[in-house]
Structure 1
Amino acid sequence: MLGLRLRSFLFNVGWYVGTAVIAIVGLPILLMPRRAVVAWADLWIDFCLWWLRITCRITHRVRGLENRPAGPVILACKHQSSWETLAFHRLFPNAATVLKRELVFIPVVGWAMARAGNIAVERGSGASALRGLLRQARATLAAGRSILIYPEGTRTPVGSDAPYQAGTAALYRQLGVPVVPVALNSGVFWGRRKFIKWPGVIDVEVLEPIPPGLDRETFMATLRERIEGATGRLVADAERRPAWNERGTSC
C-alpha cells in the first residue's frame, strides 16, 4: 500500500506541476485559432496520460469503435472518474463535450475548454439551460462535430444507481442523430474523489448506436440498459483480474 500511495502522490505532483507549466507557457495560444488551442490541449492530455502510465501503471484499451456511425453523433458516456475527462478528448477527437458552465471560468484550463468549442450549460436553470444546450448542440452538429454528454451529469462511484438527466433525451428528440452509448470501468482504477490509483487496464466499450425516432421513455430505458449492462460487465471483468485480487497485499 505504501508503494501505491507513493505512486499516486507522484502522479498528483506531476499532474499539477506539469499542468501549471503547460498552462503558463501556452497561455498566448488562447489568442490563436481553435485548432491551435485543441493541439495545446492534446499536448497536455498526452502528458497526463503518459504520466499516469509511468507513475500509476494505468493504461486503457477501446473496443467497439466499429459501432460508431460515420458523421456527427451524440456520444452518451458513463462517467466514473476524472480519467475520461482527459482521455475522451483523444479517443473521440473533435467532439464537443457538454460541461458545467462554471468550469469555463477556471483560469487558463477553463478558458481553453471554452476556446476549444465545448458546450457549457448552466446547471439548475431548467428550461433556459435546455434551450442553451440545444442551441449550442445544433451549432456543433452544423460544424460537422459530434457531441459528448454524460447522461448522469456527474461522476458516479462504481456500483451506484444515479438517475439519467433530461439533457440527453432532449438532444435525442431534437437533433435527429444516432446516440452512441459508451461504457467503461475507469472507477475501478481511479475512483471518484479517491487519492489511491490502482494499476491496471481501463476498458472502454463503444456500444451499438440507438437510431433516432424512439419515444422518450423507450429511448431512456434503452440507453440506460445498454450503458449500465455493459458497465457492470466491464467492472466485473476488472474485478476478476489477478491485480484486483491482490489489492489487499499490494505495496
Structure 2
Amino acid sequence: MSIVQATRTVLFYLLLSFSAFAWGTLSLLLAPLLPFEARYRFVVQRWCRFAVWLAWHMVGVRYRLSGLENIPQKPCVILSKHQSTWETFFLSGYFAPLSQVLKRELLFVPFFGWALALLKPIAIDRSQPKVALKQLAKQGHERLQQGAWVLIFPEGTRIPTGVMGKFSRGGAALAVNANLPVLPIAHNAGHCWPKNGWAKHPGTIEVMIGPLMYAEGEGPRAIAELNQRAEEWVANALRGIGELPPQASAQADVA
C-alpha cells in the first residue's frame, strides 16, 4: 500500500471513529423518543450510509449493485456472504428497518454499541450455539412480524476471499417457519476491505442480489434444501466474477 493510500486510510479511520462517537452520543439522547422504524433510520441507516460514502470518497472503496429487481416490497430473511465489515455497513444502510444477528459483545462498545442496543438486534452468545439458535428462531420471528428485515451471515464469521464457508441452517429455518422467502446476496468486499489488518484497497465491490427463494414444503428437509439452494446461488454468483474457481467451491471449516 502506498504512503498516500496509507495516509488516507488513517484519516478514514479517524473520521469514522469520531463520527461513531458523535452520532452514537446524539442517538442515545434522541433515539428513545422515536418509534422503532424512525429510530433505526436515524441511528443506523444514516450513519452506515455515511460510512459507505466515506469509504468511497476517502479510500476509493466503491461498489456496483445488481439485482435490485429481486428485492421484495415485504421484508424477509437476508442471507449474505460475509468477508468484511463493509457489507455490514452497506446492508444495514440499504435495508430499513433491519434487525441483524450480531455478537453480544458489540453492544458493549461505548456510545455506538449502546445506541445499537436500542434497535432490537438479535445479539447472540456464540459460546452457546444451542441457546443462540433458539434465540434466533424466537426473536427473528418477532422481528419479521414487526416488519423488519432480518440479516444473517450464514457462514457465521468473516471468510477470506476465494473460499466459501458452509452455510448454517438457522436463517433458512427462520424463513421456513415464518412462511417467508430468503434473499441471497453475494459480494467480494474482502478484496477492498480485508478481514485482517487495517489496510483498505481502492476498487469496486460487486454486490449481487439474488432471486427470492421459497421453501418447497415444510420441516427439516425443506429447510436443508432451501439453505443449499441459497448457498449454491451465492457460490455460482461468485464464480461468475472470478471470486471462486469454476469447479466446486473450496469450503472453509467454520466452527
Same fold per TM (> 0.5)?
A: yes
Pairing of 1:1-251 with structure 2 (within 5 A)? 1-33=2-34, 34=36, 35-36=38-39, 38-213=41-216, 215-236=222-243
Residue 6 of structure 1 and its aligned partner are, at CA, apart by: 1.6
Structure 1 SS opposite 2:175: helix
Structure 1 SS opposite 2:5: helix
Question: In the alignment, is the contact (CA less than 8 A) between 2:45 and 2:96 conserved in 1?
Answer: no
The residue type paired with residue 233 of structure 1 is G
Residue 219 of structure 1 and its aligned partner are, at CA, apart by: 2.0
Stretch moving more, 152-161 or 41-50:
41-50
Question: In the alignment, is the contact (CA less than 8 A) between 1:188 and 1:235 conserved in 2?
Answer: no
Question: In the alignment, is the contact (CA less than 8 A) between 1:80 and 1:155 conserved in 2?
Answer: yes
Question: In the alignment, is the contact (CA less than 8 A) between 2:101 and 2:124 conserved in 1?
Answer: yes
* 1:124-181 deviation digits (Å, cap 9, x = unpaired): 3233222211111111121122211111111111013322223223213322210110
Residue 236 of structure 1 and its aligned partner are, at CA, apart by: 4.4
The residue type paired with residue 127 of structure 1 is K
* 1:245 paired residue number: none
Q: 1:199 to 1:235 in 2, by over 3 A?
A: farther
Once residues 29 and 235 of structure 1 are traced to their aligned partners in structure 2, the CA distance between those partners, rounded to angstroms, is 45
The residue type paired with residue 114 of structure 2 is W
Instruction: Note the residue ranges of structure 1 that are not aligned, 5 or more in a row.
Output: 238-251
Once residues 40 and 227 of structure 2 are traced to their aligned partners in structure 1, the CA distance between those partners, rounded to angstroms, is 35
Which portions of structure 1, spanning 4 or more consecutive aligned residues, are displaced by more than 6 angstroms? none
TM-score (norm 2): 0.84
Q: 1:76 to 1:68 in 2, by over 3 A?
A: same
Question: In the alignment, is the contact (CA less than 8 A) between 1:38 and 1:116 conserved in 2?
Answer: no
Once residues 157 and 224 of structure 1 are traced to their aligned partners in structure 2, the CA distance between those partners, rounded to angstroms, is 16
The residue type paired with residue 194 of structure 1 is G
Once residues 119 and 104 of structure 1 are traced to their aligned partners in structure 2, the CA distance between those partners, rounded to angstroms, is 11
Q: 1:176 to 1:49 in 2, by over 3 A?
A: same
The residue type paired with residue 143 of structure 1 is Q
* 1:240 paired residue number: none
* 1:66-113 deviation digits (Å, cap 9, x = unpaired): 112331211101111111111111221212111122222222222222
Once residues 149 and 25 of structure 2 are traced to their aligned partners in structure 1, the CA distance between those partners, rounded to angstroms, is 30
Instruction: Note the residue ranges of structure 2 that are not aligned, 5 or more in a row.
Output: 245-255
Residue 195 of structure 1 and its aligned partner are, at CA, apart by: 1.9
Once residues 209 and 21 of structure 1 are traced to their aligned partners in structure 2, the CA distance between those partners, rounded to angstroms, is 38
Once residues 176 and 150 of structure 1 are traced to their aligned partners in structure 2, the CA distance between those partners, rounded to angstroms, is 20
* 1:175-220 deviation digits (Å, cap 9, x = unpaired): 2210110001111111112322111221211101211235233223
Once residues 83 and 33 of structure 2 are traced to their aligned partners in structure 1, the CA distance between those partners, rounded to angstroms, is 33
Residue 37 of structure 1 and its aligned partner are, at CA, apart by: 5.0
